[in-house]
C-alpha cells in the first residue's frame, strides 16, 4: 500500500468514525450572506447562539461604518513580516491595547488568538534560547538568557493553545522549562506547587502562573484576586487569558482581572491576553504587559511573529476606533444589554428547572449534557427549532463534564428569549439530555 492509498484509507476511516462526534464534522452549513445573529440553515432562519459576538457589534452601523471608512482609506493587501517593517496602523493598535488594559506598557499583536498563546508560551519557555535568536547569534551577539528555567503553573482547564505552546517549548529545550498543573480553580493546590518549587529551585527560576479568566465552555469566572496575591507572594508573573472577557466584562470591558481591588499594585506582574475575534469583531489576538523591554524580547523570540504576516493595516486602523467605542458609553450600553439578556435567560432556565453549571454574570450559559450520546441530536433538534447552539463533549470536555453552551448576544429580544426557553424545554422532553436542576 503506497502513500496515497495509506492516507486515503486513514481519511476514510476517520470520516466514518467521526460521524457521531459533533466537533469532527460540522453539523451546520449556512447559505447566503453571513448575517451574524440570523443565519440561514437548510431553509431555516436560525438565531446563532454559538458565535461569540457578545455585544452584537458585528451588525452595529457605527462599527460597519468604521470598517468601510478604513477600507476606503487603506490598501486591502497585507504587508510582510514585522521583523522587516511595521505599519503605523499596527503600532497604533498595540499602543491603544496597552493603554486600554494597563494605561501604559506594550502590546504584541498576532493574526489569531491561538497563535498568541502558542507563540508567547514558546517565547517565555525558551526566552533567548529561542530558535530565531540563536540563529542570529553569529551576526548579532546577545547576552544569553540567565541560566534559570521557566516554571509554568497551569490551571487544569487552561486553554489548549497555551498548553500546546508550553509542550512545544519543553520538547525543543527540556532543560529550559518545566510545567506543573494545579487543579482547576484550586488556589491551595497552586500554592502547594509554588512552595515546592521554592524548595527545589529557590529564586533561580522564572515562575509564571497561567489561567483563563472565564472558562469558555461554562462561563465560570476564576478568582483573579487570589491569583494576583499568590503571584506577588511567590514572585511570579501572572498570565491571564481574557479571551472571553475582554470587551464584555469588567470596567470598560477590560476583563475580569481589571475588577481586582488594587489592580494597579499588580500591574507589573500581569500579562493579559485577549482576542479581537469576539467583541471587537476583527481577526487577531494580542498580549499586553507593563515592561516594554520584555515585550520586545517576547516579540522576537516568537517565530510566528517574525515569520508570519501581521494584522492587515486597514483592520488595525479600524480596530483602534472600535476599541474606543467598546471602552466608552456605547460599549457600556451594550454590556448592560447583554448582562440583562444573560440574567433573563438564566432566570427563565432556573424557573424551568434546568440545571446550570455556573451562575456568574458572563454571557456564557452552560447546561450539563447528562446523556452525551444524544449531543448531535440536540444540535439538530435545536436547529429545527430555529437556534444554533454548541455542544462541548469529548475530546473538548472530559467524560462527565459535557455541556450545552449558549452564548448570549446583546441584540436578543424578549421574543427570542421565550422561544429559546420553550425550544429547550421541548428538546429536554424529547431527548432527555439533562436532569432537572
**pLDDT at 144 (0 to 100):** 55
**pLDDT at 29 (0 to 100):** 79
The domain segmentation of the chain, as residue ranges, is: 78-184+200-214+238-311
Q: Is 84 exposed, middle or buried (0-12, 13-18, 19+ CB in 10 A)?
A: exposed
Q: How far, in Å, CA of 409 to CA of 364, rounded?
A: 10
Q: How far, in Å, CA of 357 to CA of 366, rounded?
A: 6
Strand-pairing partners, residue 273, are 241, 287
Q: How far, in Å, CA of 164 to CA of 81, rounded?
A: 23
Give the pLDDT confidence of 131-152 residue by residue, as tens digits.
766 665 554 555 555 578 999 9
CA dist 120 → 17, 116, 161, 224, 307 (Å): 35, 6, 10, 20, 14
Residue 255 contacts residue 242 (beta carbons within 8 Å): yes
Collapsing DSSP to helix, strand or coil, 395 comes out as coil
**Given the DSSP bridges, would you call strands 236-241 and 206-212 parallel, antiparallel or unpaired?**
parallel
pTM of the model: 0.93
Q: Give the number of C-alpha atoms closer than 13 A to the C-alpha of residue 148, restricted to the C-beta side.
A: 13
**Terminal Cα-to-Cα distance of the chain (whole angstroms):** 54
Of residues 177, 184, 286, 270, the one with CA closest to residue 231? 270
**Given the DSSP bridges, would you call strands 390-392 and 270-275 parallel, antiparallel or unpaired?**
unpaired
- The dihedral through the CA atoms of 174, 178, 183, 189 has a sign that is positive
Asked if CATH classification 3.40.640.10 holds for the domain at 78-184+200-214+238-311, the reply, yes or no, is: yes
CA dist 405 → 8, 68, 113, 176, 365 (Å): 34, 33, 20, 38, 6
Q: How many CB atoms lie within 10 A of CB 384?
A: 14
The conformation of residue 141, written as its DSSP 8-state character, comes to -
Chain-wide mean pLDDT for the chain? 91
Per-residue pLDDT of the chain in tens (437 residues, 90 and over written 9): 899 999 999 888 888 877 666 555 566 778 888 888 999 987 889 999 999 999 999 999 999 999 999 999 999 999 988 888 899 999 999 999 999 999 999 999 999 999 999 999 999 999 877 776 666 555 455 555 557 899 999 999 999 999 999 999 999 888 889 999 999 999 999 999 999 999 999 989 999 999 999 999 899 999 999 999 999 999 999 999 999 999 999 999 999 999 999 999 999 999 999 999 999 999 999 999 999 999 998 988 888 888 889 999 999 999 999 999 999 999 999 999 999 999 999 999 999 999 999 888 899 999 999 888 888 899 999 999 999 999 988 767 777 788 999 999 999 999 999 999 999 999 999 999 887 66
Q: How far, in Å, CA of 413 to CA of 336, rounded?
A: 14
**pLDDT at 26 (0 to 100):** 62
Amino acid at each position: 500500500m503506497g502513500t496515497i492509498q495509506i492516507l486515503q484509507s486513514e481519511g476514510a476511516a476517520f470520516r466514518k468514525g467521526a460521524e457521531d462526534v459533533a466537533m469532527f464534522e460540522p453539523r451546520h452549513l449556512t447559505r447566503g450572506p453571513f448575517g451574524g445573529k440570523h443565519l440561514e440553515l437548510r431553509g431555516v432562519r436560525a438565531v446563532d447562539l454559538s458565535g461569540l459576538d457578545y455585544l452584537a457589534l458585528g451588525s452595529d452601523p457605527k462599527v460597519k461604518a468604521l470598517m468601510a471608512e478604513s477600507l476606503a482609506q487603506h490598501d486591502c493587501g497585507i504587508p510582510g513580516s514585522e521583523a522587516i517593517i511595521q505599519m503605523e496602523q499596527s503600532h497604533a493598535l498595540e499602543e491603544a491595547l496597552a493603554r486600554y488594559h494597563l494605561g501604559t506598557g506594550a502590546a504584541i499583536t498576532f493574526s489569531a488568538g491561538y497563535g498568541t498563546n502558542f507563540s508567547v508560551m514558546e517565547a517565555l519557555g525558551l526566552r533567548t534560547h529561542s530558535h530565531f535568536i540563536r540563529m542570529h547569534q553569529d551576526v548579532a551577539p546577545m547576552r544569553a538568557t540567565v541560566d534559570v528555567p521557566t516554571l509554568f503553573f497551569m490551571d487544569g482547564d487552561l486553554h489548549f493553545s497555551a498548553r500546546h505552546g508550553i509542550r512545544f517549548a519543553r520538547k525543543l529545550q527540556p532543560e529550559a522549562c518545566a510545567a506543573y498543573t494545579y487543579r482547576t480553580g484550586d488556589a491551595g493546590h497552586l500554592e502547594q506547587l509554588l512552595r515546592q518549587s521554592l524548595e527545589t529551585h529557590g529564586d533561580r527560576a522564572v515562575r509564571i502562573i497561567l489561567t483563563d479568566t472565564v472558562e469558555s465552555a461554562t462561563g465560570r469566572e476564576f478568582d483573579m484576586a487570589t491569583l494576583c496575591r499568590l503571584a506577588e507572594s511567590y514572585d511570579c508573573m501572572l498570565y491571564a487569558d481574557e479571551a472571553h472577557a475582554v470587551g464584555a466584562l469588567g470596567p470598560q470591558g477590560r476583563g475580569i482581572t481589571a475588577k481586582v481591588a488594587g489592580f494597579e499594585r499588580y500591574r507589573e506582574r500581569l500579562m493579559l491576553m485577549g482576542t479581537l475575534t469576539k467583541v471587537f469583531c476583527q481577526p487577531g489576538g494580542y498580549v499586553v504587559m507593563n515592561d516594554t523591554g520584555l515585550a520586545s524580547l517576547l516579540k522576537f523570540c516568537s517565530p510566528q511573529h517574525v515569520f508570519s504576516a501581521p494584522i492587515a493595516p486597514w483592520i488595525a486602523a479600524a480596530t483602534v476606533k472600535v476599541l474606543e467605542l467598546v471602552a466608552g458609553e456605547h460599549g457600556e450600553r451594550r454590556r448592560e444589554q447583554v448582562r440583562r439578556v444573560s440574567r433573563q435567560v438564566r432566570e427563565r432556565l432556573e424557573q424551568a428547572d434546568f440545571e446550570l453549571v455556573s451562575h456568574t454574570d458572563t454571557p456564557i450559559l452552560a447546561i450539563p449534557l447528562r446523556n452525551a450520546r444524544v449531543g448531535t441530536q440536540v444540535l439538530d433538534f435545536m436547529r429545527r427549532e430555529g437556534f444554533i447552539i454548541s455542544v462541548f463533549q469529548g475530546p473538548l470536555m472530559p467524560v462527565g463534564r459535557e455541556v450545552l453552551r449558549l452564548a448570549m448576544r446583546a441584540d436578543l429580544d424578549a421574543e427570542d428569549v421565550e422561544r429559546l426557553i420553550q425550544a429547550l424545554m421541548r428538546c429536554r422532553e424529547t431527548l432527555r439530555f439533562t436532569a432537572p436542576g
